[in-house]
Amino acid sequence: MLKSRQPLITQKVLVLHPSYVAGKLGVVCGEELLSNGRPTGRWLIRVDYTSESIIVSLPQDEFEVLYQDTEQV
């Protein structure tokens, strides 16, 4: 599968892995950064999980961006 450009904050995503949140919808909160400000290559995704929201740190191959009709793929 070809990967598109980096996800944007507030974009909706479908989580593919890990299994405890796979299949759930999430929202991109931002790119995970180290304490020195360098990116880790992972993204922070907010997922509604049972009765509360959780933040998961995922590499880009563990979620799929759900594009709006007006966005280019």
> What local confidence, expressed as pLDDT, does residue 4 receive?
57
Is the model more confident about 5 or about 33?
33
Query: What pLDDT was estimated at residue 6?
Result: 86
* Cis status of the peptide bond prior to 7, with omega within 30 of 0: no
Domains of the chain: 12-65 (2.30.30)
**Sign of the CA dihedral 67, 8, 46, 42?**
positive
In which residue are the tokens 């709006």 written? Answer: 68
pLDDT given for residue 73 in this prediction? 44
